[in-house]
Amino acid sequence: MLPTRLPTAAASELASTPAGPEHANSIAIDQIDPNPVQPRRVFQADSLHQLADSIRSHGIIQPLVVRLNGDRFQ
């Protein structure tokens, strides 16, 4: 089984590395904008807390997929 979390130093290094659209493996979270056509608008507070707790405990198991939108991502 592959590890789901990177050591802090590695994660920090990846987050600060500029990513090109053709080979983006990791991008800074402040480069991601919400998708204005996202149909999910209402989220239950309890569900969000459970998700946040799970991410803190296990990391993000599945990759987050974004698309290039100008010089930022969505």
* 5-28 tens-digit pLDDT: 555 555 555 555 555 556 657 888
- What stretch of H or E contains 72? strand 72-73
In the chain, how many domains are there?
A: 1
Q: Is 3 a member of any domain? A: no
Q: Which contacts of 3-12 are long-range, i.e. CB under 8 A and separated by 24 or more positions?
A: 4/58, 4/59, 4/60, 4/61, 5/59
| 3-class secondary structure, 56 | helix
Q: Is 44 a member of any domain? A: yes
Given a cut of 80, is residue 34 above it in pLDDT?
Answer: yes
| Structural domain containing residue 51 | 8-73
pLDDT-based confidence at residue 29 (cuts at 50, 70, 90): confident
Give the whole-number percent of the chain exceeding pLDDT 70. Answer: 68
Q: Is 66 a member of any domain? A: yes
Q: Which residue has the tokens 């994660």?
A: 11
Tokens linked to 26: 């990791």
Q: Is 37 a member of any domain? A: yes
Q: Can you give the pTM of this predicted structure?
A: 0.50
